[in-house]
Amino acid sequence: MEYRWRYQDAQGRDVAGPDVMFADQAEAEEWFSAGWRDLLDAGVEQVTLLRSESEVYGPMSLHPAQ
């Protein structure tokens, strides 16, 4: 099974983002941890981790909790 991220705006609409596949969940989360600020700067407001087409978790806001 491959993992990937779904990128969305604040209203939950899909937006463009890097089309990257990962072999496992840890690899996907490591990639996200290193680049979430770049995604936010590019207009991504929230992400969902997918395994094939099933949601693992999310949507998760990219805005730090206040």
For the chain, the domains span 3-61
What is the tens place of the pLDDT at every residue in 21-53? Answer: 999 999 999 999 999 999 999 999 999 999 999
Q: Is the pLDDT of residue 66 over 70?
A: no
Confidence tier at 6 by pLDDT (50, 70, 90)? very high
Global confidence as pTM: 0.92
What pLDDT, on a 0 to 100 scale, did the predictor assign at position 36?
A: 95
Convert 10-39 to b/e letters by CB count within 10 Å (16 or more is b): eeeeeeebeeeebeeeeebeeebeeebeeb
Confidence tier at 65 by pLDDT (50, 70, 90)? confident
Cβ atoms within 10 Å of 41's Cβ, excluding its own? 9
